[in-house]
Structure 1
Amino acid sequence: MRDLTTDERQELRRQLAALAVDWAQRLTGSDVDSRGRADHDPSYEEKMRAHLACMRAGEQMRHLLADVVSASAEEAVRHGAGYPELGAAIGASRQAARKRWPNLPILKRRASDWKQPPGGIGWAGESHLGYPGTA
């Protein structure tokens, strides 16, 4: 996974702004595009209402996107992700992911599923880890 480039972020921002304007128009039932048209010069009050409508639509979009992120986190967990992977996906730590989604059913891995060091067992009680050339 990679982060968006600067150009990609600008394009996504432009698309989200256009989406917010579109939904603001739908919700108010009017043309709330604050950029205006050639045949109409919007007043300050019209511009204010247009921006307020875009804010309202944008805020609702933000809440819905948070729901989408949480649903994706739940699905990722169903497919084996743990808190370290969830944190990495959102650019945060394992602890931040655990705090954000405390009730996800993260499965505890059994000790037999953990990776063993090269050379086999060699954990507690042995003087070496079984690496070649060590005694």
Structure 2
Amino acid sequence: MRDLTPDERQDMRWQLSTIAIGWVQRLEEDELDAGRGADHEPNCAERMRTHLARMTVSEQMRGLLAELVSASAEEAVQWGAGYPQLGAAVGASRQTARKRWPNLPVAKRRAAEWKQPPGGIGWAGESWV
């Protein structure tokens, strides 16, 4: 998969911001003053509270995205991915991926797939005449 272009990153940033603002509005519906008109100019305290609320929602989004990434890593392992592929998917090394997801069954499954030496399980029991 290719990296996002700067324009695509900006578009994604805008979309995520729009989602965060929508959730702030949804979660603050009960707190909004029903008597405020459309021409109401928010004061400094209201603007600060809005930005703090957006920070709170964005942090919750970050947690949910992290859960989504981990779930995708687990599913990728089920379909054959190893730590090198997991690391590459998140722009990290194999070692970093192993530290990030230490309990994935990658190592056990991969070890079972390793090729055995020529002649079977081991060379020690074979005789060469």
TM-score, length basis structure 2: 0.79
Q: Deviations over 1:49-74 (max 9, x none)?
A: 10011011000000000000000000
Which 4+ stretches in 1 moved above 6 angstroms? none
Taking the aligned partners of 1:62 and 1:3, their CA distance within structure 2 comes to 20
Matched length: 107
Q: How many angstroms does 1:110 deviate by? A: 2.0
Corresponding position: 1:111 with 2:115: yes
Unaligned 5+ segments in structure 2 are 117-129
What's the counterpart of residue 60 of structure 1?
60
Structure (1/2) with the larger helix percentage: 2
1:66-102: CA deviations, max 9, x gaps?
Answer: 0000000000000000000000000000000000000
Q: Which residue of 2 aligns with 1:28?
A: 28
CA distance in 1 between counterparts of 2:11 and 2:38 reads 25
Distance in 2, matches of 1:27 and 1:56, equals 11
Q: How far, CA to CA, are the matches of 1:69 and 1:55 in structure 2?
A: 21
User: What is the percent sequence identity of the aligned residues?
Assistant: 63
- Structural RMSD (CA): 1.5
Indicate the residue corresponding to 1:79 in structure 2.
Answer: 79
Q: For 1:6 and 1:111, locate their aligned partners in 2 and report how far apart those are by CA, in whole Å.
A: 44
Deviation at 1:38, TM superposition (A): 6.4
* Distance of 2:38 and 2:8 partners within structure 1: 30
Distance in structure 2 (CA, Å) of the matches to 1:12 and 1:84: 27
SS of equivalent residue, structure 1 residue 111: coil
The equivalent residue for 2:50 is 50
